[in-house]
Chains A and B, each alone.
Chain A
Amino acid sequence: MSAAGLELPPASPGRRRRLRVSPGLYYTVAKASVVTQFQYRAANYFYMVGMVAEPIVYLVVWTTVAEAQGGSVGGITPGEFAAYYIVWTLVRNMNIVLTPYAWEERIRQGRMSGELLRPVHPIHYDIAFFAGWKIPVILMWLPVGGLLALLFRPSTDIRPLELAVFFVAIWGAYLIRTMFMWVLGLLTFWTTRVSAIFEAWFTAELLLSGRLVPMSLMPDWVRTLAAFTPFPSSFGFPIESLVGDLSTGELLRGLAVQAGWIAVGAGVVALTWRFAVRRYSAVGN
């Protein structure tokens, strides 16, 4: 029963058409997500606190190195490291999208069948749902960020343009990551042993995105390699746009690169989806 969902006979022949993706759809799904996630405040908070451990470890290690090197390493002072890793926590939260592992469950439990019956491409629901989730997350992040700032004393000066670019860039990062995580997840349609691929991807992301360390501290060949991947756009660039010393040109170029990666990601999603969905066959009802 391959692709049965797609080829269902239309209710009235001749009038079958796809529903337009309207802002209303996004608004409704996102609102439902906001309301749902506010109910799980405690769980969301514990998740966030567990997540904060990671950048604190990096921050302490690099602060120690900077102090041993006489106050800075690669031109970055402890205060600048603090600023980097505090903004890191917000960007990390913006990076949370549907995990590719979730596809396994979607397919195994047959929930894909229901999603295929919906009149718009299922990615729109995911984008809207997780985008809505970001609103409680950002609100809950504010006190966490404030506390970290008190503890670690960040130093940075922020221009209004940097702030504006940052606000666009975190959503750009969100979209880039959504697209590529979707593509990874779609691999589940071909093979069920996907965890090795996922782990390899996540490791590359950790090392090449600026999540581990500001990219300027990486060896040159790593930076060159990273420039050919979407990773810096979805992690390092948003952070640097706020706390780094990027010129206006560099800021705008960064946004353009983000837009490029969103387009590439969307293209790959569209292409992979067409083939993936043909491989789907629901078992049972």
Chain B
Amino acid sequence: MARMPRRPARPARAGGATVAWTYLRLAVLVEIQYRVNLVVQLLQSAVEVGTALAVLTLVFSHTTDLGGWSHDELLVVLGLHVLLGGLIATFVQPNMSRLMADVREGTLDFALLKPVDTQLLVSCREVNVWQLADVVIGVAIAGTGVARVGAVDAAGALGFAVAVVCGTVLVYCTWLVVTTGAFWLVRMDFVAELFDGLYQAGRWPVTIYPGWLRLSLTVLVPLAFAVTVPAQALTGRLTGVTLAAAVAFTGVVVVVTRWWWGRGIRRYDGASA
């Protein structure tokens, strides 16, 4: 046992959680310099949510029931949709945009060189913190709906917790899978537009859509698991089978995403190539 190391000691490898936390904190600090953006964001959210509520009112002025869901139950769906949309816009979308830009411009080198897991790193470099306004608004709407429906018990709450974690992970995976396509196709901006368009379909429970569309919204864009299943948990209509399916599907998607990301990153040539 040598007393003195022959080489300078390698810097301790920071744990993934520490790195992620540091990056997230930095990103938030950068963003909160631009405080006027909060006002702009609040205005925008108010307009969007106001429109959505107006549409809901309009629909229920012509009917009392939409595919087996009442007005208050659809408030829960809408609230969760806004909430999840806020989470995506805060944490997922800005990171994926930056990843696409990095692949296009070759600056992903800087992320690859760092001694942490690259997938972790590229997923926590940006936080669009003002979009959290949507998360707050979403919670308020969903909370109102839940209180009015009054059908949630302990099992439902637990089911909701599991379902909402699965849903969030699934949406993140979908984004990452699509963004990883940039390693082959370079220009993927339009896919973000496509996702935004399809995400709007999640404002309504996927059970109202015709079969082929419901299947796409379950498997291709996991809106069923992301919004409808958590909403089912909060309105007392979630079955154990559905929940188990959500957990299993999430597990499969996580593994596939990890594998696909690995393939993508091996395709990457770097800036100087």
Q: Residues of A with Cβ closer than 8 Å to B?
A: 43, 46-47, 49-54, 56-57, 60-62, 64-65, 68-69, 73-74, 151, 193, 195-196, 199-200, 203, 206-207, 212-213, 217-219
Nearest neighbor of A42 in chain B, beta-carbon distance: B190
- Do the beta carbons of B197 and A68 come within 8 Å of each other? no
Asked if residues B213 and A50 are in contact (CB atoms below 8 Å), the reply is no
In the complex, 16 of the A-B residue pairs with CB atoms within 8 angstroms, ordered by the A residue number, are A46-B190, A46-B194, A50-B197, A54-B197, A54-B200, A56-B201, A57-B201, A60-B208, A65-B59, A65-B63, A68-B67, A200-B47, A203-B47, A203-B51, A206-B51, A217-B58
Is B30's CB within 8 Å of the partner chain A?
no
| Shortest CB distance A18–B (Å) | 39
Question: Which of B54, B66, B194, B203 sits near A64, CB closer than 8 Å?
Answer: B66
Other-chain residue from A43, A57, A62, A206 in contact with B200 (beta carbon distance below 8 A):
A57
Report the Cα distance A213→B51, complex, angstroms: 13
Tell me what chain B mostly uses at the interface: helix, strand, loop, or mixed. Answer: helix
Per-residue CB proximity of B58-71 to A under 8 Å, as 1/0?
A: 11011101110000
Q: Secondary structure at chain A's binding surface: helix, strand, loop or mixed?
A: helix
**Residue-by-residue, is B118-158 near A (CB-CB < 8 Å gives 1, otherwise 0)?**
00000000000000000000000000000000000000000
Q: Is the CB of A47 within 8 A of B66?
A: no
Which of B43, B54, B197, B201 meets A51, CB within 8 Å?
B197
Closest to A206 in B: B51
Task: From the candidates B44, B67, B190, name the one contacting A43 in the complex (CB within 8 A).
Answer: B190
- CB-nearest residue of chain B to A152: B210
Question: How many residues on B have C-beta within 8 angstroms of the other chain's C-beta atoms?
Answer: 32
7 closest Cβ contacts across the A-B interface?
A50-B197, A53-B197, A50-B194, A46-B190, A65-B63, A64-B208, A50-B193
**Is B63 touching A50 in the complex (CB atoms < 8 A)?**
no
Smallest beta-carbon distance A247→chain B, Å? 26
Docked Cα-Cα span, A145 to B43, in Å, equals 36
Which B residues touch A57, using CB under 8 A? Answer: 200-201, 203-204
Contact B40 A73 (CB under 8 A): no
Instruction: Provide the residues of chain B in CB contact with A56, threshold 8 Å.
Output: 201, 213
In the complex, what residues of A have CB within 8 A of residue B51's CB? 203, 206-207
Q: How far is the CA of A51 from the CA of B208 in the complex (A)?
A: 20
Contact, CB under 8 Å: B213 / A60: yes
Please tell me if the beta carbons of B204 and A213 are within 8 angstroms of each other in the complex: no
Closest beta carbon of chain B to A209's beta carbon, Å: 13
Q: Does B196 contact A (CB under 8 A)?
A: yes
Give the distance in Å from the alpha carbon of A65 to the alpha carbon of B61 in the complex. Answer: 10
Q: Which residues of A contact B66 (CB under 8 A)?
A: 61, 64-65, 68
Q: Does B209 contact A (CB under 8 A)?
A: yes
Q: Is B29 an interface residue (CB 8 A)?
A: no
Asked if B198 is an interface residue, CB under 8 A from chain A, the answer is yes
> Are A50 and B196 neighbours in the complex by a CB distance under 8 Å?
yes
Contacts of B210 in A (CB 8 A): 60, 151
- Contact between A217 and B62, CB atoms less than 8 A apart: yes
Residue B26 CB within 8 A of the other chain: no
In the docked arrangement, what's the CA distance between A259 and B51, Å?
30
